[in-house]
Amino acid sequence: VDMEKVQLHPTGWVDPADPDSGTKTLAAELMRGVGGLLFNVSGSRFCNEVSTRANVTHNILLHDEVYASTGAWQRGRDIPDIWMVLGQEAGAEAGRHVDLYTHKGLLTEVAGLKGVAKHTGMPEAALKATYRAYAKASKAGVDPYGKTVFRNLPSNLKGGKFYVGKVTPVLHYCMGGLKIDSEGNVMTEGGGAIPGLYAAGEVTGGVHGANRLGGNSLLECTVF
């Protein structure tokens, strides 16, 4: 049941050593929560980084012209290049996450926006303009994408530490699975219980509806 319902997470790290790998390490939402920003190849922001997973993913995929015109992803298309950038202050709060991702080679420390530009190919002038606009929006209390929380703005764009990594949307959770009843019995297509066969957790479907709320999978695994 519900096998067509899947949840995408907007930020899985692209490993520079194996960029085409079908398995990605998740870039935790904490990385955006502490102040990490998302940039396209032009050096511009394009969304509220702390919006819902579905909204951030949608705005990433909008960089593809086919998706932008049809609203559907065409298999075989190249995923848009998106960069996550944390300033020194955000990196300090992220702490062990930054240490782990850097150790894995997924995140790179560079010096200033010049270092960000050199590492990513994004125009330095565009990066400066984006950060200045972001700082201005933080003083106003809202940005063009509806963001109202601005944490850990970088204080030194020229020489401060920045942490940079490429990200891509990844499959995070499948709402579908085996159909069960209230006692955890696995059901047949005809609606009857299969004697002696029980299921709980992510193998089951029909529990969450079209999308899963954060934390619900833990409850799902402990109900029965």
Rounded-to-integer distance, Cα 149 and Cα 221, Å:
33
Q: What is the mean pLDDT of the chain?
A: 93
Of these residues, 32, 97, 208, 212, which one is catalytic? 32
- Residue 168, pLDDT > 70, answer yes
3-class DSSP state of 158: coil
169-182: per-residue pLDDT in tens? 999 888 889 999 98
* DSSP β-bridge partners for residue 174: 6
Kindly report the backbone phi and psi dihedral angles of residue 119, in degrees, each rounded to the nearest multiple of 5, phi listed first. -75, -35
52-84: per-residue pLDDT in tens? 999 999 999 999 999 999 999 999 999 999 999
Helix (H) or strand (E) holding 66: helix 65-70
- Residue 185, pLDDT > 60, answer yes
pLDDT value at residue 217: 65
Our answer to whether residue 9 is catalytic in this structure is: yes
Our answer to whether residue 97 is catalytic in this structure is: no
Question: How many other C-beta atoms lie within 10 A of the C-beta of residue 17?
Answer: 8
pLDDT value at residue 222: 67
- Residue 164, pLDDT > 90, answer yes
pLDDT value at residue 212: 76
Rounded-to-integer distance, Cα 98 and Cα 86, Å:
9
Question: Quick one: tokens of 181?
Answer: 């009843």
Kindly report the backbone phi and psi dihedral angles of residue 139, in degrees, each rounded to the nearest multiple of 5, phi listed first. -70, -35
Dump the DSSP string for 85-107.
Answer: EEEHHHHHHHTHHHHHHHHTTSS
Rounded-to-integer distance, Cα 64 and Cα 77, Å:
8
3-class DSSP state of 130: helix
Angle at which helices 112-120 and 124-140 cross, to 10°:
120
Of these residues, 9, 53, 97, 212, which one is catalytic? 9
Rounded-to-integer distance, Cα 81 and Cα 87, Å:
20
Rounded-to-integer distance, Cα 159 and Cα 84, Å:
18
Mean pLDDT across the stretch 118-142? Answer: 98
- Residue 109, pLDDT > 60, answer yes
Question: Quick one: tokens of 195?
Answer: 């004697």
